[in-house]
Amino acid sequence: MKLFFLIAIFTFSLIFVKNLSAQNEIHSPKNVKLFADYLFCEKDYLRAAEEYQKLNGGSMNDTVAYKIALSYYSSYNLEKAKESLKLINKNSIFYDESILESLKIQYLLNEKFNIEYDESLIATLKDEKIHSAFLKLWFTTNLRYPLPGVIDSEENFLDVFEEPLKSMAKELFYLRYYPNYKNPETAGILSAIIPGAGKFYVDEIGDGVMALLTTGIFVFLSYDNFRADHNFRGWLFAGISSLFYAGNIYGSVAAAQIYNARLDYDFGVKLNLFLEDNNFFIPHINFCK
Amino acid sequence: MKFFLFNILLLLQSFLFAQSDWKRWEAEEISYQRSDPHRSREYSFEFENISDFSVKIFTNSYWFFISEVDGDNCPYSPSCSSFFIASVRETNPAQGLLMFFDRFTRDFNIFNRKSHYPHFINGQYFDPPSLYTLEASKIKYTPPVLLTSDK
Amino acid sequence: MGSFNRLVVLAILIFIDSYSFAQSNYESQFELAKNLMSEKKYFDAITEFKRLLFFENDDENIFIAYSLLGDCYKAGAKFDESIYYYTLSEINSKSSGQIYDAQIKIIRSNILRRTTNRALTLLDSLEANLKYSDKISEINYWRGWAFIFSDKWDAAADEFSKVDSAKQLSEFCKLTGDKLYSVPLVKAMSFILPGLGQFYTGNYISGVISLGWNVLWGYTAIKAFAADRIFDGIMVSNFLWFRFYRGNFENAQTFAESSNLLQTNKALNWLQTEFTGLKP
């Protein structure tokens, strides 16, 4: 009886000691993961990624591997996020999401897509939601970096979207394929006919008015001085007015180019906003419940 | 007071982490010295060719005798004279002259500048010559927002 | 029976030992974080302090950990974050001494961040608190530094003069302040006579050029008005004479401010590199 009691005390003590040590071992894999999860939920993403990467063997699982990639992406370490996503194997429960994340990161890195759009890839995306998300993301990112044969027509593009996304997608499609560009030559010719008209053409009303006024004033000054027989001043103001006139034509051509560049920029901003507002169509997983 | 402070800090913390710890950083000692907010001129006579040299003589003289003493009138960065030098360097004297006269015309337009040009905290509007070289590939459009640097 | 009792005692000792092992585990984590800090690996030190705080329950350790976290961020010149953690250390403080220490650290970070108005407000509230009546000297000392960073050298000299150990600093600030030009005075001089402010600041050539332009355009404008060429007179006055007149006192102001900046930067550089006393 005494022996039994003794063995029980020792066993209990040893188990208690082992558990207490394990719990109090701050750098144990279990605690490293706990701490990493905490950092992830606190948005301290780089630290979270570095902590997760200390885990190996039994502590590393599908969720941890995916969260490493998410942590790097969230802290704008896109190259490291891309590398981490490559390590997610096909059997992982997050493999489908990792395909979408890879596509997103390639878009953000302005890289040419090397994910081949083929039926075998689509076939691996078994989940209907993921399949639909992939098509939306693939088609939308192709607006920015088009690959041949992806977007055949407006119908082909809009088919993958449902309302309310469809109306925004349609707007983006038209901005991409039917932008309201201004012709620089037209702007130059208009300004040659009437100083400032080319600037009006590209919606630079104030600059157009100033171009008209400056050219007009110096022409008038030149004429007035010639009329008063002040030939030197007449030629001086004629020269200045010619320079303003030529500068106005030049500036109108440049203004048209800047107008077009602005349209391209605004399109890029709208496209990025559309993607970000919809989380790049990637189903959001809340790891911090 | 502690409760109030604590709540404010809870709101702030995710914002703070978002800004500074997403990249590894090292120790840094900030300089106690202040930077000079005044516009500085590049008076050097370094030149690449004869037209560059003539432009430099003209603009250095203009800066010394006129621009430095008539106040800071140009709302743009680079200033009109610096814009002229940079335009000639980037293109050629004739094209640089046209770019300058276009800039001079736009300088007269005092309306709606803030909705048209990006600007710095000192109020100057960013208007680089690279937008006006007629080479579309050189145009890096910047929206009319507050800028923190001219890069 | 005797051996049985010995074994029971042994079991109890093992239990106590494991419990104290858990305690020393936190201490070793603390040491790890502090060692990283002393090696200037502040980013990693922050990680270890955060790990400690995640697992730690002891209030005393929490106060110190938050304070050291603030020190790490301050070393990386991340003052917003350092102030945040110093504030957390203040919230978790257990004595008025700890509160004071935390507030002084917040004040020093505010000084470095150049939010000196905030630093001065905090210093005023510390001074008004009767618990810290024995810390007036130190409060005045940091107020002096806040004035230095606000470019108020005379006020800084006054504050340092109230601190026995800062007489040298007081003299230094006074000397620096004496070398500075009064910008309103320089502007007023140029307002009265174009070029005078520039002469005062030692920029003689600029003063002569400025005076010359003003004389030229002033003469031209007056001559035009005198000859009843009102339009010409208005054009010359508005676009030339007024432009150069306004430019003249802007120029004088620029010279005064640039000269002052040169002097203050020299002084600030000395304070940062040569001064061996306590700095923000």
Inter-residue contact A195 to A248 (CB < 8 Å)? yes
* pLDDT attached to residue A22: 46
- Residue in C203, C240, C261 to test binding to B, most B beta-carbons within 10 Å: C261
- The pLDDT of residue C11: 64
* Section A63-81 average pLDDT: 94
Contact: C54, A38; criterion CB under 8 Å: yes
- Residues 83 through 122 of chain B touching chain A, CB cutoff 8 Å: 95, 97-102, 104-106, 108-109, 111-112
pLDDT at A13: 63
Q: How many CA atoms lie within 13 A of B123 on its CB side?
A: 7
Give C118 or A156, the one with higher predicted confidence: C118
Is the pLDDT at C23 greater than 70, yes or no?
Answer: no
Instruction: Say if CB A67 and CB A98 are below 8 A apart.
Output: no
Portion of chain A with pLDDT greater than 70, in percent? 89
Interface list for C 31-90 with A (CB within 8 A): 47, 50-52, 54-55
Of A99-108, A211-220, C57-66, C264-273, the range with the lowest mean pLDDT is: C57-66
Split at pLDDT 50, 70, 90, the class of B33 is very high
Nearest CA-CA distance, residue C31 and chain A, Å? 13
CB atoms within 10 A of CB A264: 16
pLDDT at res. C118: 97
Share of chain C above pLDDT 90, in %: 82
Distance CA B122, CA C176 (A): 27
> How far is residue C113's CA from residue A262's CA, in Å, rounded to a whole number?
37
The C-alpha atoms of residue C166 and residue C117 are separated, in whole angstroms, by 22
pLDDT given at position A2: 72
| B72: in domain | yes
A-chain CB neighbours of C19 within 8 Å are 20
Average pLDDT over residues C253-274: 95
Per-residue pLDDT band for B64 (boundaries 50, 70, 90) equals confident
Q: Which of C18, C29, C51 faces A17 most closely, judged by CB atoms?
A: C18
Residue B146 lies in a domain: yes
For residue C3, is pLDDT > 80?
no
Tokens at residue C149, please? Answer: 């960073």
- Pick from A50, A72, A65, A75: nearest CA to A97: A65
Q: What was the pLDDT predicted at A3?
A: 72
In a domain, B15, yes or no: no
Residue B149's pLDDT is 67
Q: What is the mean pLDDT of residues A259-285?
A: 93
Whole-prediction pTM value? 0.82
Tell whether ipTM is more than 0.85: no
Nearest CA to B103 out of A214, C65, C113 is that of A214
Residue A113, pLDDT > 70, answer no
- Span C23-32, average pLDDT: 84
Select from A203, A193, A196 the least CA-distant residue to A244. A196
Most confident of A4-13, A83-92, A270-279: A270-279
Report yes or no on B23 lying in a domain: no
Please give the structure tokens belonging to residue C125.
Answer: 């509230």
**Tokens 């560059």 found at:** B52
Task: Please answer yes or no on whether B70 and C243 come within 8 Å at the CB atom.
Answer: yes
Q: Does the pLDDT at position C126 exceed 60?
A: yes
Residue B105 lies in a domain: yes
Q: What share of chain B has pLDDT > 70, as a percent?
A: 85
The predicted pLDDT at position A112 comes to 62
- pLDDT at residue A23 in the model: 46
User: Mean pLDDT over residues B5-20, rounded?
Assistant: 57
Is the distance from CB of C243 to CB of C178 less than 8 angstroms? no
**Res C25: pLDDT:** 77
Touching check for B145 and chain A: CB below 8 Å? no
User: Is the model more confident about C267 or about A12?
Assistant: C267
Q: Are A174 and A232 in contact (CB under 8 A)?
A: no
**Mean pLDDT over each residue of chain C, to the nearest integer:** 91
pLDDT of C37 higher than 70: yes
In the DSSP assignment, the letter for residue B76 is: E
Least confident of A193-207, B13-27, C241-255: B13-27
Residue B141, min C-alpha distance to chain A (Å): 6
* Contacts of A179-186 spanning 24+ positions with Cβ under 8 A: A179/A260, A179/A263, A179/A264, A179/A267, A180/A263, A181/A259, A181/A260, A181/A263, A182/A256, A182/A259, A182/A260, A183/A256, A184/A253, A184/A254, A184/A256, A184/A257, A184/B134, A185/A253, A186/A256
Q: What are φ and ψ of residue B115, in 5° steps?
A: -90, 5
Please give the pLDDT value at position A150: 80
Mean pLDDT of B123-136: 94
For residue C83, the model assigns a pLDDT of 97
Residue C270: pLDDT above 50?
yes
More confident site: A252 or C18: A252
For residues A71-87, average pLDDT: 93
- pLDDT, average across residues C207-221: 94
What pLDDT sits at residue A131?
Answer: 86
Return the structure tokens found at C183.
């910008």
Confidence tier at C6 by pLDDT (50, 70, 90): confident
Task: Please tell me the distance from the alpha carbon of residue A71 to that of residue B117, in angstroms, as a whole number.
Answer: 37
For residue B87, give both structure tokens: 């335009």
Per the model's pLDDT, the better-predicted residue between A234 and C9 turns out to be A234
The Cα diameter of chain B in Å comes to 71
Q: Where are the domains of chain A?
A: 184-273
Q: What is the mean pLDDT of residues A235-254?
A: 96
Confidence of residue A109 (pLDDT cuts 50, 70, 90): confident
In a domain, B12, yes or no: no
CA distance A268 to A265: 5
Question: Which residue range forms the structural domain that includes residue B118?
Answer: 46-151
- Both structure tokens of C144: 């002096």
- Give pLDDT, residue A195: 96
Residue C20 has pLDDT above 70, yes or no: no
Q: Inter-chain contact C25–A24, Cβ cutoff 8 Å?
A: yes
* Chain A residue at shortest CA distance from B112: A206
Q: Using alpha carbons only, what angle is made at residue B150 by residues B16 and A270, rounded to the nearest 5 degrees?
A: 65
Residue A59: the pLDDT is 74
Lowest mean pLDDT of C10-24, C102-116, C187-201, name the range.
C10-24
**Which of chain A's residues have a Cβ under 8 Å away from the Cβ of C21?**
20-21, 24
Residue A163 above 80 pLDDT?
A: yes
Alpha-carbon distances of A87 from A32, A62, A284, B121, rounded to whole Å: 21, 10, 21, 45
Cα–Cα distance, C32 to C60 (Å, whole number): 18
pLDDT, tens digit (0-9, with 9 covering 90-100), for A47-61: 999 999 999 777 788
Determine the average pLDDT of the residues in B70-87: 89
Judging contacts by C-beta atoms under 8 Å, the chain B residues touching residue A217 are none
Residue B10 predicted with pLDDT over 70: no
Report the alpha-carbon distance of residue B24 to residue B19 in Å, rounded. 12
Residues A136-146 have pLDDT tens digits of 988 898 888 88
Helices (H), C150-203: 153-161, 167-178, 183-192, 196-200
Q: Which of A104-108, B48-52, B142-146, C59-63 has the highest mean pLDDT?
A: B142-146
Answer whether residue B22 is part of any domain: no
Task: Give the number of domains in chain B.
Answer: 1
- Structure-model confidence comparison of residues B51 and C171, the more confident one: C171
For residues C24 and A22, which has the higher predicted lDDT (pLDDT)? C24
State the chains in contact with C (3 or more Cβ–Cβ pairs under 8 Å): A, B
pLDDT in tens, C151-203: 999 999 999 999 999 999 999 999 999 999 999 999 999 999 999 999 999 99
Return the pLDDT at B148.
Answer: 82
